[in-house]
Amino acid sequence: MRVFVAGGSGVLGRRLVPQLVERGHQVTATTTDESKLGMLKELGADAVVMDGLDAASVDEAVAGAHADAIVHQMTAIAGKPDIKHMDKWFATTNRLRTEGTDHLLAAAARHGSPHVVAQSYGNWNGIREGGWIKTEDDPLDLFEGTPANVGMRAIAHVEESVLAAGGAALRYGGLYGPGATDDQVTLIRKRQFPLVGRSNGYSSWVHLDDAAGATVLAVEQQARGVYNVVDDEPAPASEWLPYLAKCAGAKPPMRVPVWVARLMAGDVAVAMMTEGRAFSNAKAKRELGWRLRYPSWRQGFAEDLG
């Protein structure tokens, strides 16, 4: 297949492009940065510069690729995590998920209607009622009235528009693997990522290589609908955070009461750490035939950060 990877130079794109190439696909991958074109070519892709927020730039890149499939992996999250002001931290990413998605879908419709697979999010953001583990039939939590709301709406926009176009939205768990957790690990090493109260909120994780593997399957099978792309072991923060710190060679995380965390890091951080709802991967395994190389973050953190 001819596959166009918007955001091919990112932490996930860099693992996805080689997997696609290895499976015999012809890949066009994008970056906004000319200096990364060589790296994309080394991974085996045709490389193009594209600004996902510029409709004309997207149209030109998609037109030139003659793609059977488009994969949307454009985000701009790197930098110091600022969960208290998530709207500002995620401002560009939110635009890439709204305007960027619209530009890609419009270009797709104009140039042969390739199938679309897009990055969504399924880490700690399941609806905060009922059980701790959510399926694709459960809604995501929009975190109304918090600084996370605009980002959660942007994720909903990706899912709704891509599904309406007959594509698939992949709810990746917390990504880890080369380069993916550097910003969090920096905070953990400075002991600025504490446990909050009982820290009984759940998260789902997934290694970059497994996330890329599920993405290849969704492309090849022209999957439609939502898929949770997470590992086998959703876990509360009280379990994964001390283990992540240990694997990263950091001191154990501090523990702060809920009211202190609310004051310092805001409502979203408290919700994530104490009310988060994680995700089940049963559908991706069943329907896509997805097999994980890292079924648990326990093995993955130890190998990646140890």
Ligand X SMILES: NC(=O)c1ccc[n+]([C@@H]2O[C@H](COP(=O)([O-])OP(=O)(O)OC[C@H]3O[C@@H](n4cnc5c(N)ncnc54)[C@H](OP(=O)(O)O)[C@@H]3O)[C@@H](O)[C@H]2O)c1
Sheet containing 26-31: give its strands across.
46-49, 26-31, 2-6, 69-72, 115-121, 168-172, 225-229
Choose which of 10, 167, 197, 276 interacts with ligand X (CB under 6 A). 10
* Calpha distance 215→15 (Å, rounded): 11
Residue given tokens 């492309």 in the structure block: 219
Please, are residues 31 and 6 in contact by the beta-carbon 8 Å criterion? no
Q: Per-residue contact track with ligand X, 273 to 292, x per CB under 6 A?
A: --------------------
CB of 259 to ligand X, least distance (A): 28
Residue nearest to ligand X (CB): 10
Q: Binding to ligand X by residue 82, rule CB under 6 A?
A: no
- Nearest approach in angstroms of CB 171 to ligand X is 9
Q: Which C-beta is closer to ligand X: that of 172 or that of 202?
A: 172
Site string for ligand X, 87-126 (x = CB under 6 A): ---------x------------------------x-x---
DSSP string, 5-43: EETTTSTTHHHHHHHHHHTT-EEEEEES-GGGHHHHHHT
**Spatial contact of 213 and 223, defined as CB atoms under 8 Å apart:** no
- Residue 184 or 222: which CB sits closer to ligand X? 184
Q: Check binding of 204 to ligand X (CB under 6 A).
A: no
Q: Which two tokens stand for residue 241?
A: 């955070």
Least Cα distance to 119 among 217, 15, 211, 28 occurs for 211
What is the contact mask toward ligand X in residues 30 to 69, using x (rule: CB under 6 A)? -xxx--x-------------xxxx----------------
Q: Which stretch binds ligand X (CB under 6 A): 28-36, 158-166, 225-233, 298-306?
A: 28-36
Q: How far is the CB of 119 from ligand X (least distance, A)?
A: 7
Using the minimum distance from each CB to ligand X, give the nearer residue, 52 or 114: 52
Nearer to ligand X, 10 or 167 (CB): 10
Residue 172 or 294 having the CB closest to ligand X:
172
Across the chain, which distance is largest between two alpha carbons, in Å?
A: 55
- The b-or-e profile of 267-277 (16+ CB within 10 A means b, else e) is bbbbbbbbbbb
Binding residues for ligand X, total number by CB under 6 A: 28
- Rg for the chain, CA atoms, rounded: 19
